Amino acid sequence: MKYLFACLFIAGATSFASDGGKKIYDPGADARAQLSEATVRASAKNQHVLIIVGGNWCSWCMKLDRLLKTDPNLSAYVAENFQLVHVNYSPENQNKEVLQDLQFPQRFGFPVLLVLDGKGQRLHTQNSGYLEEGDGHSSDKVMAFLKKWSAAALKAETYAEESK
């Protein structure tokens, strides 16, 4: 019975941690190169970079990823306003140098979200615990966070009408 439970747990964790057979967080990925490429794309498209640091071992990381993919409003908003990068944190690869450059976001737990501008400057680090509701992340709270840290939200012309 214990063996069966262990097999079911491992099989469930493996399928839960993957996206169509592809792991969401890749321990072998070059996070620095991924961030550099995303920054170039963000700059060209007048977007920001949304980094989610976590691992395939993290159930809350999987829940957030699933929400971002299955909520049509969130997935459309992310696609329109951000370049999304998943940065792995696991025993295989903690990406220590990259996370040091980002001012140690792992101190907030996982997943942790960061926003970079099109020049690669860190604008914000978000403890995802504040985006939770019940057994998952709140679509409304995640959307409010994304809207507050989009490129448009940080432009003076966005608020020009308010000052008249």
User: Mean pLDDT per 10-residue run, the chain (164 residues)?
Assistant: 39 45 91 98 98 98 98 98 98 98 98 98 98 97 98 90 63
Q: What is the pTM of this model?
A: 0.86
Following CA atoms 137, 138, 144, 145 in sequence, which dihedral angle do they give, to the nearest 10 degrees? Answer: -10
CA distance 43 to 150: 13
CA distance 161 to 19: 43
pLDDT in tens, 78-125: 999 999 999 999 999 999 999 999 999 999 999 999 999 999 999 999
User: What is the residue extent of each domain of the chain?
Assistant: 22-152
For residues 18 and 56, the answer to whether their CB atoms sit within 8 Å is yes
pLDDT of residue 12: 43
CATH homologous superfamily of 22-152 equals: Glutaredoxin (3.40.30.10)
Angle between helices 139-148 and 72-81 in degrees, nearest 10? 20
